[in-house]
């Protein structure tokens, strides 16, 4: 039933999330598993997940950390390196271990040091992926020190993304956590094999918010938030009803100490209230009727999967987001810390 105060939609999936490992995994994964049916699990552990056996073992650890009450499927990804073996990827995909491969340009973000230094080095891998229909998930930022941090995504499109799409025209690509109007335009103008995920936080704040009244380390993530014009382009894209844009939270927990430091880590922990945040944005854009497509339909369609059978309910009730969350032996500051939101995730129906 959908009336003014209740929203019942197909259960969403999260097409990009970091659930970490060890104690942190146990502390954070159920925030994702309670809202989402499936999630694409990022492989940037230390060391990264670069072979099928490591992915199998990581999947077992994730499932062991998920509460029994949740029916949750982690979809595993392979971290691409300069020397990655295309045979390993092909077998891992055929065996249902890997759903996709993740391209981190070396040095672009957290635990990306083993990433790809030159796209030419993985041409054989991209060729294989194109042939077998395996999606490539792209962290789209150049890492050159002479490129301003706010320009790194746009320059990546010109220098790298355009080359990949030219050389591998049938490769399925998710341009992840897009942050610019250039990325929106690139995806819109590309074929149906190119899509993008959009995070809740890039829909909510722009780069000025990171410095409002002082430096706000909990809003720092990569790709970094851009100017307001870009945020508005993202909001238009997400709420447009275009199947090329779908949900990927990029929830990336770091302990409060790792964030509030002289060299703070990048990442926003948005998993605990992810759907509430997206719902608020869609409502502000008068587009609540477009939320289900974005959150629950277009992602599976891109990946060639069925939408979830279950439904979830959101109700219009003001909630207050906790200032901090105790996660195992540490504290993490959630996205929207201390704020009020107008929608509450009730649960599955
Ligand atoms: O902000 C980010 N945090 N961006 C990334 O690409 C990685 C992530 C993390 O793993 O912390
Ligand atoms: Zn990420």
Say which CATH number the domain at 185 has.
Answer: 3.20.20.140
d(CA 6, CA 191): 36
Mean pLDDT estimate for the chain: 97
Host domain of residue 205: 14-302
The pLDDT score that the predictor gives to residue 1 is 53
Residue 4 lies in a domain: no
Ligand 1 atom with the smallest distance to the CA of 221 is 1
Q: Give the binding-site residues of ligand 1, using a 6 Å CB cut-off.
A: 18, 44, 109-110, 139, 221-222, 252, 265-267
The least confident of 62-66, 109-113, 238-242, 268-272 is 109-113
Give 248 Cα–ligand 1 centroid separation in angstroms: 13
Which comes out higher in pLDDT, residue 110 or 285? 285
The pLDDT score that the predictor gives to residue 174 is 98
List the catalytic residue out of 113, 146, 167, 250: 250
Active-site residue 250, yes or no? yes
- Crossing angle for the helix pair 228-238 and 274-284, nearest 10 degrees? 90
Answer yes or no: is pLDDT of 108 > 90: no
Query: Encoding tokens for residue 294?
Result: 């974005």
Give the residue from 134, 132, 101, 99 showing the smallest Cα distance to 119: 101
Query: Encoding tokens for residue 199?
Result: 């995070």
Task: Please give the tally of structural domains in the chain.
Answer: 1
Residue 310 lies in a domain: no
What is the residue with the minimal CA distance to atom 2 of ligand 1?
A: 267
Residue 75 lies in a domain: yes
Residue 64 lies in a domain: yes
What residues flank ion ligand 2 with Cβ within 5 A?
250
Residue 339 lies in a domain: no
Q: CA-based angle 123:129:132, to the nearest 5?
A: 145
Ligand 1 atom with the smallest distance to the CA of 108 is 6
The pLDDT score that the predictor gives to residue 22 is 97
Over the range 153-182, which residues count as b (16 or more CB within 10 Å of their CB) and which as e? bbbbbeebbeebbeebeebbbbbbbbbbbb
pLDDT digits (tens, 9 = 90+) for 110-158: 888 899 999 999 999 999 999 999 999 999 999 999 999 999 999 999 9
Residue 344 lies in a domain: no
What is the residue with the minimal CA distance to atom 7 of ligand 1?
A: 110
The pLDDT score that the predictor gives to residue 193 is 98
Answer yes or no: is pLDDT of 342 > 80: yes
Give the residue from 176, 88, 175 showing the smallest Cα distance to 124: 88
Residue 343 lies in a domain: no
Residue 9 lies in a domain: no
Quick count: other Cβ atoms within 10 Å of Cβ 8?
A: 15
């Amino acid at each position: 039933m959908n009336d003014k105060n209740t929203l019942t939609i197909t259960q969403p999936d999260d097409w990009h999330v970091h659930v970490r490992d060890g104690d942190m995994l146990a502390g954070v994964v159920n925030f994702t598993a309670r809202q989402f049916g499936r999630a694409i699990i990022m492989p940037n552990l230390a060391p990264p997940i670069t072979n099928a056996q490591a992915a199998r073992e990581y999947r077992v650890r994730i499932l062991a950390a998920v509460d029994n009450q949740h029916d949750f499927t982690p979809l595993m990804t392979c971290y691409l390196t300069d020397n990655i073996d295309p045979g390993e990827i092909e077998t891992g995909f055929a065996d249902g271990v890997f759903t996709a491969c993740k391209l981190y340009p070396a040095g672009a973000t957290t635990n990306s040091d083993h990433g790809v230094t030159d796209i030419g080095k993985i041409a054989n891998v991209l060729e294989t992926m194109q042939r077998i229909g395996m999606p490539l998930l792209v962290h789209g930022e150049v890492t050159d020190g002479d490129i301003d941090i706010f320009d790194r995504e746009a320059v990546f499109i010109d220098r790298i993304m355009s080359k990949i799409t030219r050389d591998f025209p049938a490769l399925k690509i998710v341009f992840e956590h897009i942050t610019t109007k250039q990325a929106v335009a690139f995806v819109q103008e590309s074929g149906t094999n190119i899509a993008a995920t959009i995070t809740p936080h890039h829909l909510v704040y722009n780069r000025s918010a990171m410095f409002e009244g002082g430096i706000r380390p909990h809003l720092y993530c990569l790709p970094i938030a851009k100017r307001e014009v870009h945020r508005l382009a993202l909001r238009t894209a997400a709420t447009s009803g275009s199947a090329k844009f779908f949900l990927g939270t990029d929830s990336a927990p770091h302990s409060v100490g790792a964030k509030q430091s002289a060299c703070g880590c990048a990442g926003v922990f948005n998993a605990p209230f992810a759907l509430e945040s997206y719902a608020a944005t869609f409502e502000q854009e008068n587009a609540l009727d477009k939320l289900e497509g974005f959150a629950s339909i277009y992602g599976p369609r891109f990946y060639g999967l069925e939408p979830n059978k279950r439904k979830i309910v959101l109700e219009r009730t003001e909630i207050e987001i906790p200032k901090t969350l105790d996660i195992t032996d540490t504290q993490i500051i959630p996205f929207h810390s201390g704020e009020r939101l107008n929608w509450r995730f009730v649960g599955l129906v």
